Amino acid sequence: MTHQVHLWRSLPHLSEVTYSFTKDWANDQLSRISDRHELLSDPNNVIPDQSDLPRFETISSALRTNPGFVLIRPGSDYQDDDLRQLYALFGRSIGQINDRYGYFFDVIDQGLDYTKAAIPVSKTKASTGYHTDSTAREYVPDVVGLLCLHPGFRGGESLITNAANAYELIRRDNPKSLDELEKPVIRDVITPGSENSTAAILENTFPVFQVNEDGFLFRYMRYWIESAHAKTSKELPVYLKQGMDTIDEFFSREDNTVEFRMERGDMLFLNNRFLCHNRRAFEDHPAMPSRRLVRSWINFENS
């Protein structure tokens, strides 16, 4: 089956997915861009130099299959603008960068509470819970990118796990739940500027698991599934709840999860189609820069 190519046979070690480069290499790459500011304002108009294709191809290959994520660690000795431009260059080498929230979206605590309003959890300091990005039926990013400009005072650790492994477990042990998870499921509407109404929620339906000739696709955030059912006065199907319980229990186990703290300059790219990610709650400190990450949504050129 298609999903089996993505199964983790063992938990990836962070050292196996971590890449680095020298400052000379970074400066050389940026010097080849005629307008470095265009990397941020109109990145899809920039064509990365192909002379270092093997390095970029290695990263792209790791994202498309197993293990599905890479951590690039250039070090902290860069200005913010240089880090943003290098991050954009790597993202552009992976594919087309989407602009639904702007090409690059700063993830910072805005003092909001996603349990009290239909807003992205990225605007809060709460734990995000295990999720894939984008709750909109019509759009799925292939890759989620995150650049760490400031890690913050405490917390905020990243966690990554593999939904293909969870699928295999449910397929084997609870096929009735899998049947429910493969049916269209309603989700809350949280995209800024979108109508958040009963009708809009009822139209925003798609499966948690989808396995077909197009490949394996996992789309999940339990909170927005449950809030959609509550807002539309629909009862949560028993086997859907059981399936989500199994998913959450699987993801919560340490032996199924890679956990690490992003430091300044770190760039994380992960496959949003078969991996699921989480962020622990974090705290800022008044004497330190607030935690600030930069998110991007990327689609492979031929997807």
User: Cα–Cα distance between 119 and 291 in angstroms, integer?
Assistant: 19
Identify whether the C-beta of residue 201 lies closer than 8 Å to the C-beta of residue 185.
no
Q: Report the pLDDT value the prediction gives residue 54, as an integer from 0 to 100.
A: 58
pLDDT classification of 51: cutoffs 50, 70, 90: low
pLDDT classification of 178: cutoffs 50, 70, 90: very high
Tell me: pLDDT of 106 over 90.
Answer: yes
Assigned token pair, 253: 């186990």
Could you give the percent of the chain with pLDDT greater than 70? 95
Q: Which residues contact 157 (CB under 8 A, 6 or more apart)?
A: 259, 260, 261, 279, 280
pLDDT classification of 34: cutoffs 50, 70, 90: confident
The model's pTM is 0.94
- Direct distance between the N- and C-terminal alpha carbons of the chain, in angstroms, rounded to an integer: 19
Q: Report the pLDDT value the prediction gives residue 53, as an integer from 0 to 100.
A: 58
Assigned token pair, 203: 């139209």
Q: How far apart, in Å, are the Cα atoms of 2 and each of 9, 73, 128, 213, 214?
A: 15, 31, 28, 8, 9
Q: Which CATH number fits domain 1-303: 3.55.40.20, 3.40.50.300, 3.40.190.10, 3.60.130.10?
A: 3.60.130.10
Q: Report the pLDDT value the prediction gives residue 50, as an integer from 0 to 100.
A: 63
What ranges in 65-130 are assigned the alpha helix state H?
80-94
Tell me: pLDDT of 275 over 70.
Answer: yes
Q: Report the pLDDT value the prediction gives residue 301, as an integer from 0 to 100.
A: 84
Q: Report the pLDDT value the prediction gives residue 52, as an integer from 0 to 100.
A: 65
**Dihedral of alpha carbons 119, 120, 124, 126, sign:** positive
Instruction: List the one residue out of 277, 248, 284 whose CA is nearest residue 260.
Output: 277
- Mean pLDDT in the chain? 91
Helices 80-94, 53-64: crossing angle, 10 deg rounding: 70
pLDDT digits (tens, 9 = 90+) for 58-77: 888 899 999 999 999 987 78
- Rounded to an integer, the average pLDDT of 77-102 is 94
Q: How many residues does the chain have?
A: 303
pLDDT classification of 28: cutoffs 50, 70, 90: confident
pLDDT digits (tens, 9 = 90+) for 200-238: 999 999 999 999 988 999 999 999 999 999 999 999 999
pLDDT classification of 196: cutoffs 50, 70, 90: confident
Element housing 38 (H / E)? helix 38-41
Question: Which single residue is written with the structure tokens 């239909």?
Answer: 118
